Amino acid sequence: MTIRFDFSGRTAIVTGAASGIGAVIAEEMAASGAFVVASDLDEAALSDVVNGITAAGGRAIAVTADASRAEDAERLVKAAVEQGGGLHLAVNNAGIGGPSAPVGDYPADGWRKVIDVNLNGVFYGMRYQIPAMEAAGGGAIVNMSSILGSVGFANSAAYVAAKHGVLGLTKTAAMEYAQKGVRVNSVGPAFINTPLLSKNLSQEMLDALAGMHPMGRIGTPEEVSALTLFLLSDRASFITGSYHLVDGGYTAP
Ligand code: NAP
């Protein structure tokens, strides 16, 4: 199912846009009229996504950038403003899974890397996106958290801590800019069928994960994109500072 919102005249940054959830969000935002500034570390895969968008009649550019570097976040916003005429929308989506180990064995360098990408990256993004959105007359941001922004998961301390941190950062930014025309929300997907999972888990583990959701399956990137696009759209004009789950009932019990 293709979701259509009206983002014509808006410029949008999507990080982690070369794969999985970010790629679908970038494609659906472009199909909804946005000029998409798609960003990722993976230059070749990013270029495939952007070429697909332009072949389908959408408008997008690729900017290779590391979400965990403040100077890259600044450069990305500059590209959006210069080439898109201003910045209106952003999805801080780039993320990594990190090592799997209990806290007592968790590698400190793996901890730092996950916090750098999944939490610091969201701060660096908003640090430069928000002033640009204010200059453009307002905007909306979605920060990609997880169900693991509100519940724990054994052997994933850094990921869980970073995703909980994203919620606090989202709420604080939302309060600070609620009267300045910038809305900030977070999305909490349960397990979603993307390379993040398929690269790291066996089919047996994927089946076990599916069984942890009351719906008996994992989700699709399109299901996460539908919620994200709604939150970015003007239809969500009174929604800010909140955490929105798309989890097949995972957190209901
Ligand atoms: P994905 O398919 O692995 O896509 C993530 C993309 O982000 C990849 O292209 C990745 O590149 C890129 N990336 C990694 N580190 C980066 C960095 N420092 N700077 C820029 N780009 C970087 O993962 P996904 O499942 O779509 O996940 C997207 C977001 O949703 C993440 O924040 C993730 O935590 C969140 N999420 C996912 C799930 C799930 O079950 N899939 C559930 C809840 C939340 P590489 O491939 O080179 O690493």
Of the candidates 106, 124, 128, 159, the residue annotated as catalytic is 159
Does this model's pTM top 0.95? My answer is yes
* Index of the ligand 1 atom closest to the CA of residue 116: 18
**With a 6 A CB cut-off, is 63 part of the ligand 1 pocket?**
no
User: Are 103 and 25 contacting, i.e. CB atoms less than 8 angstroms apart?
Assistant: no
Is the CB of residue 232 less than 8 Å from the CB of residue 175? no
Q: How far is the CA of 160 from the centre of ligand 1 (A)?
A: 14
How many Å apart are CA 60 and CA 41, to the nearest integer? Answer: 16
Q: For residue range 23-54, what is the model confidence (pLDDT) as tens digits? A: 999 999 999 999 999 999 999 999 999 999 99
Q: Of all atoms in ligand 1, which is nearest to the CA of residue 196?
A: 3
pLDDT at position 201: 87
What is the model's pLDDT at position 2? 54
pLDDT of residue 200: 82
User: Distance between CA 188 and CA 144 in Å, rounded?
Assistant: 7
216 CA distance to ligand 1 middle (Å): 23
Give 168 Cα–ligand 1 centroid separation in angstroms.
20
Residue 170 has which token pair? 């989202």
At residue 241, what are phi and psi to the nearest 5 degrees?
A: 75, 10
What is the percent of the chain with per-residue pLDDT over 70, rounded to a whole number?
Answer: 99
